């Protein structure tokens, strides 16, 4: 114990934002439980944590940014799924054509954010788009994943905003 004192460490207190973050993560688990595994709670939790800001204004700003980015990414994710399933032939091995299309669509994803004057949402647009088209294109129903990915984010945003603004 004496050695610890010699280090002269000062531990900061655990503030309300830390507590609210933990509550938001827990509430995401609760909602996920009642969704019977339909979504991926991880995405809800990330969104809730992103909305956990120091001020009401920055909480709302981040929530809008995340929502816009998620909508754009989901839209283009759906578009790629349609292209992949209806237009592109079933490729064996590595899908070079799909890789080129995904890379090209990133331009559209980012440009859409810029066009609607929401540049800050471009990162989230890309994250959502790539999570759909890279990680889950091979799912038995990628459309269902895309819908759930969108819903997971909306749930997380709602929980994050409610917990942070109304608090506990």
pLDDT at residue 93, rounded to an integer: 52
Q: How would residue 98 be classed by pLDDT, with cut points 50, 70 and 90?
A: confident
Structural domain spans, the chain: 16-166
Of the CA atoms within 13 Å of residue 87, those in its CB half-sphere come to 9
- In the chain, how many H helices and how many E strands? 7, 0
Cβ neighbours for 67, distance < 8 A, ≥ 6 positions apart: 153, 154, 157
| Interacting residues of 38 by C-beta distance below 8 A, sequence separation 6+ | 148
The pLDDT value recorded for residue 90 is 67
The vertex-75 CA angle with 72 and 80, nearest 5°, equals 125
- The set of residues, in sequence order, having a beta carbon less than 8 Å from that of 97 and lying 6+ positions away, is 88, 91
Q: Is the pLDDT of residue 89 over 70?
A: no
Give the pLDDT mean for 94-122.
93
Q: What is the pLDDT of residues 112-142, one digit of tens each?
A: 999 999 999 999 999 999 999 998 777 778 8
Output phi, psi for 75, to 5 deg.
-55, -50
- pLDDT, tens digit, 9 for 90 and up, residues 29-73: 999 999 998 999 999 999 999 999 999 999 999 999 999 999 999
Asked whether the beta carbons of 113 and 69 are under 8 A apart, the reply is yes
Residue in the structure block whose two tokens are 């995401």:
28
What is residue 35's predicted lDDT score, i.e. its pLDDT? 95
Question: Per residue in 5-18, pLDDT tens?
Answer: 677 778 889 999 99
What is the predicted pLDDT for the residue at 168?
57
């Amino acid at each position: 114990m004496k050695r610890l004192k010699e280090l002269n460490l000062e531990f900061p207190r655990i503030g309300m934002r830390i507590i609210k973050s933990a509550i938001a993560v827990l509430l995401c688990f609760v909602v996920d439980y009642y969704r019977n595994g339909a979504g991926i709670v991880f995405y809800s939790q990330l969104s809730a944590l992103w909305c956990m800001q120091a001020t009401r204004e920055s909480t709302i700003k981040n929530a809008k940014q995340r929502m816009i980015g998620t909508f754009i990414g989901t839209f283009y994710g759906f578009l790629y799924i349609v292209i992949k399933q209806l237009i592109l032939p079933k490729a064996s091995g590595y899908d070079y054509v799909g890789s080129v299309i995904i890379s090209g669509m990133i331009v559209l994803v980012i440009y859409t954010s810029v066009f609607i004057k929401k540049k800050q949402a471009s990162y989230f647009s890309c994250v959502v788009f790539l999570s759909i088209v890279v990680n889950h294109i091979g799912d038995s129903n990628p459309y269902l994943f895309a819908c759930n990915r969108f819903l997971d984010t909306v749930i997380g945003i709602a929980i994050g905003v409610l917990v942070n603004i109304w608090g506990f």
